[in-house]
Amino acid sequence: MNIRNNIDKVSLKKINTEKIFSVKCNFDVFGFEDKSEHVPDIDSTYKFDPKTTHSILAGFACNRRVLIQGYHGTGKSTHIEQVAARLNWPCIRINLDSHISRIDLIGKDAIVLKDNKQITQFQDGMLPWAYKNPVALVFDEYDAGRPDVMFVIQRILESDGKLTLLDQSRVIKPNKYFRLFATANTVGLGDTSGLYHGTQQINQGQMDRWNIVSTLNYLSNDQESKIILSKVSNLNNKEGKEIIQNMVSTADLTRSGFINGDVSTVMSPRTVITWAENYLLFKDVEYAFKLSFLNRCDEMERPTIEEYFQRSFGIDITDAKIVNVKE
């Protein structure tokens, strides 16, 4: 990967957090003057959660290890990316699904061509590369990682910890501007809700090494509606706004139903955006609802979900008609 190894030669700039993030910090926050290829693109429509933003900024400014926990679709990883984008901080995401192994992270021997001869040479994985560079490394689905992977990560949870590669007899010191973040649906206790199959219980000794654990919840209905309208701008008119509000209201009812134990599937903001996009395609709010959410729900729970739809839109789902929205 092509990225500068010597960040000390790159100038830094002080960030006005109140102006950019609407968050007042009692510590100085610096970003990079120049933007590299691994800096995420800025989403100008993104809405920052103040408390979560404050935690992430502390991670960047003070080299704290930050874990963001919350329900799916709340924008945990995107939140970190959008902070990094405004700091010009290179950011790499790794999804810790069950297929990611220790070898994937650390590296492995590979056959390379050198001086017209094939030789076996060790190729660093993503972790040693990131550790040596000015990169914010984000582990998505942290609570779904395999045990062998989790013990590798534990080595770098100390802010000044060194990464020891026993196979190579190497000890890697962290770059001064290496940062570590993670996102998870649970807080290391495993799947206690039945919603996140495949999540693991995390060693509490490892959990203790995360300096900051922040929770990102769903936004208020008004905030969520504004975000969806910014993403699906063709609905930004009187009729469209009313439909979006009803969609968000339906989603909110599924979340309340989940908390109360009535349903096991939650409609995330991501799903609401998909529903709105499908509505633009099919011009049928009921059909788009079925395609985007209802068809993935348990058949025993569908009457309850349909009731949520009826309460929000004021019509029975079987009687829903095609409603056109002005483009």
Q: pLDDT digit string (tens) for 160-177? A: 778 877 777 788 899 999
The CA distance from 208 to 96, in Å, is: 20
Residue 120 bridge partners (DSSP): 111
Whether the per-residue pLDDT at 179 is higher than 60: the answer is yes
Residue corresponding to tokens 């790499």: 92
Model pLDDT, residue 322: 47
- DSSP state letter for 218: P
Average pLDDT value for the chain: 85
DSSP designation for 116: T
For residue 301, the model assigns a pLDDT of 94
Burial degree of 183 (CB within 10 A; 0-12, 13-18, 19+): buried
Q: In which band, very low, low, confident or very high, does the pLDDT at 108 lie, cut at 50, 70 and 90?
A: confident
- State percent of the chain over pLDDT 90: 50
Which amino acid type is present at position 161? G
State the Cα–Cα distance between residues 210 and 227, nearest whole angstrom. 30
- pLDDT score, position 31: 96
Phi, psi of 115 (to 5 degrees): 55, 40
**pLDDT band of 112, cuts 50, 70, 90:** confident
Least confident of 25-39, 93-107, 180-194, 291-305: 180-194
Q: Would you state the pLDDT for residue 202?
A: 66
Cα–Cα separations (whole angstroms), residue 218 to 9, 31, 295, 310: 41, 28, 23, 22
pLDDT digits (tens, 9 = 90+) for 218-240: 888 998 998 899 889 999 999 99
Per-residue pLDDT reduced to its tens digit, 8-52: 466 899 999 999 999 999 999 999 999 988 999 998 888 889 999
DSSP labels, 153-190: HHTT-STT--EEETTTTEEEPPPTT-EEEEEESSSSB-
Question: Mean pLDDT over residues 273-295, rounded?
Answer: 95
> In whole angstroms, what is the distance from residue 278 CA to residue 2 CA?
39
Q: Is 196 exposed, middle or buried (0-12, 13-18, 19+ CB in 10 A)?
A: middle
Give me the half-sphere count of Cα atoms (radius 13 Å) on the Cβ side of residue 98: 4
Provide, rounded to the nearest whole percent, the portion of the chain with pLDDT above 70: 87
Tell me which of 3.40.50.300, 3.40.50.150, 3.30.2130.10, 3.20.20.70 is the CATH number of domain 7-215: 3.40.50.300
Q: Both ends of the chain: CA-CA distance in Å?
A: 44
Measured CA to CA, the distance from residue 25 to residue 239 in angstroms comes to 40
Global pTM?
0.80
Query: What local confidence, expressed as pLDDT, does residue 144 receive?
Result: 78
Q: Give CA 46 to chain center in angstroms.
A: 13
CA–CA gap between residue 37 and residue 12 (Å, rounded): 17
Contact criterion met (CB below 8 Å) for 122 and 107: yes
Task: Give the residue, 120 or 139, on which the prediction is more confident.
Answer: 139
Average pLDDT over residues 260-272: 88
pLDDT of residue 188: 46
Q: What is the mean pLDDT of residues 56-82?
A: 92
Better pLDDT: 22 or 217? 22
pLDDT tops 50 at residue 81: yes
Residues 6 or more apart in contact with residue 327 via CB below 8 angstroms: 234
**pLDDT higher than 50, residue 6:** no
